[in-house]
Amino acid sequence: MNKIKIGIFPGSFDPITVGHEYIIHKAAEMVESLIIGIGDNSNKRHHFNIEKREEWVKKTFENYPNISVKKYSGLTIEFAKKENSKFIFRGLRSTIDFEYEKQIAETNSFMDENIETVFLLANKKYGMISSSIVRQIFINNGNIDPFTPKAIHIT
């Protein structure tokens, strides 16, 4: 049987940062097809709407044929199953990320032990970048271009 290796990279991308971009390229080297899942959970408040968040992620990776972008709502593990993905990629910046992500990964593995969470370490240069800090700079009229992918310009 010809089974291709699929992985998902789920997140809010509110907005996408160079930190996400770096990890996504690393993950895309490890699978044949990487699906970026943009979470659209109504219980989570987002600054940028789902259409904008999706548009920027799509533009960032438009020239990478093995990277695609999909919106999803509900549980990440269900999204992974629906997409026939064996892997959930997540990025780690710190031990704080690790403790939080470990709990989620263990819960997901309890729900479906055939899907593995794979952690990739943040690039040292980008370890301090988070969407929430980028939002704060944006809201206060600072220049966020150094923190967001070169292919996009958030206005």
Site residues for ligand ADP per CB under 6 A: 11-13, 17, 19-20, 23, 90-91, 93, 97, 122, 126, 129-131
Between strands 6-11 and 67-72, the pairing is: unpaired
By C-beta, is 6 or 72 nearer to ligand ADP?
A: 72
Q: Name the residue number minimizing CB distance to ligand ADP.
A: 19
> What gap in Å lies between CA 61 and CA 66, rounded to an integer?
9
Q: Tell me how long the chain is.
A: 155
Least gap, CB of 102 to ligand ADP (angstroms): 12
By C-beta, is 17 or 85 nearer to ligand ADP?
A: 17
* Residue 120 contacts residue 87 (beta carbons within 8 Å): no
Least gap, CB of 123 to ligand ADP (angstroms): 7
Between strands 116-121 and 87-92, the pairing is: parallel
Least gap, CB of 1 to ligand ADP (angstroms): 31
Fill in the DSSP letter of residue 7: E
Per the structure block, which two tokens stand in for 64? 């990478």
By C-beta, is 28 or 122 nearer to ligand ADP?
A: 122
By C-beta, is 4 or 96 nearer to ligand ADP?
A: 96
* Residue 65 contacts residue 58 (beta carbons within 8 Å): no
Least gap, CB of 76 to ligand ADP (angstroms): 8
